[in-house]
Amino acid sequence: MKGKVAHNRTEIEDHYDYKSLSNNATKRLDLNDLLKRAADEKSRNKKINLLIFSGATFVVLMFLFLLSF
């Protein structure tokens, strides 16, 4: 019975990408890693904002183009 429980636990960890907190307790917080994550997120947000702005501008220009005829 214990074999099935242990097998199910590893299956759940693999399927849901679940990692217990006890495995990460020994890892230290790295400031460089946090700064890199923040820079990556900022870059990603800039790209998304540019895409939204260009899409909205395109819609407005198409609307004005259609009204001109």
DSSP state of 15: H
Beta-carbon-side half-sphere exposure of residue 29 (alpha carbons within 13 Å) = 3
* pLDDT(12) > 90: no
Q: Can you give the pLDDT at residue 22?
A: 62
Model-level pTM?
A: 0.54
Q: Can you give the pLDDT at residue 11?
A: 63
**8 Å CB contact between 12 and 18:** yes
Q: List Cβ neighbours of 19 (8 Å cut-off, separation of 6 or more).
A: 13
* pLDDT(56) > 60: yes
**Any alpha helices (H) in the chain, and if so which ranges?**
2-16, 21-24, 31-68
Q: Can you give the pLDDT at residue 9?
A: 61
Confidence of residue 27 (pLDDT cuts 50, 70, 90): confident
> Which contacts (CB < 8 Å, 24+ apart) does range 59-63 have?
none
